[in-house]
Amino acid sequence: MKKRLLLVSLFLLLLTACQPYQETERFSFIEVVEQKEEAELSQIEDIDLILKNSDIIIGLDQANERYPSYNFEASPAYIVFEYTGFLTNDMILFTYDKEEAVTFLEELIQAEKDREDEFN
């Protein structure tokens, strides 16, 4: 009985080890706007496929108070981060152009969809 249990355990371990590991890339963003109605990044279709976290900030004063190291000079402003490890995010885009931010995130979403299709 012990031998059979050991063999089944080893088989299951081997089976899971041979499965292709697919980790979804995760991204976060900060969106600085003057009015909440202007916030649009969280409304992008399928944003949940890649979204780890988001922060919408109303007004430049509040943005610079919460994130003084970014020194926001205008609104709207957009920062996108890539989750790179345990509690680590790397900034990969900082722009004042909404279209640039939307296009960038849509490309990341499409890349994730392509990766999913590749594994299915």
For the chain (length 120 residues), average pLDDT per consecutive 10? 58 51 76 95 93 94 96 96 81 96 96 84
Supply angle C-alpha 53, 62, 28, rounded to 5: 15
**11 domain-assigned:** no
Residues 92-108: b if buried by 16+ CB within 10 A, e if exposed:
ebeeeebeebeebbeeb
**42 domain-assigned:** yes
What local confidence, expressed as pLDDT, does residue 34 receive? 96
What local confidence, expressed as pLDDT, does residue 21 receive? 46
| Residues forming a β-bridge with 81 | 28, 91
Q: What is the gyration radius of the CA atoms in the chain, in angstroms?
A: 20
What local confidence, expressed as pLDDT, does residue 98 receive? 96
**4 domain-assigned:** no
Query: How many domains in the chain?
Result: 1
117: number of Cβ within 10 Å: 8
**2 domain-assigned:** no
What local confidence, expressed as pLDDT, does residue 19 receive? 46
Domain of 52?
23-119
CATH at 103: 3.40.30
**5 domain-assigned:** no
Half-sphere exposure of 68 (CA within 13 A, CB side): 1
**Alpha helix stretches (DSSP H) within 20-120:** 60-66, 98-119
**37 domain-assigned:** yes
Q: And the tokens for 35?
A: 């009015």
**15 domain-assigned:** no
**59 domain-assigned:** yes
Report yes or no on whether pTM surpasses 0.85.
no
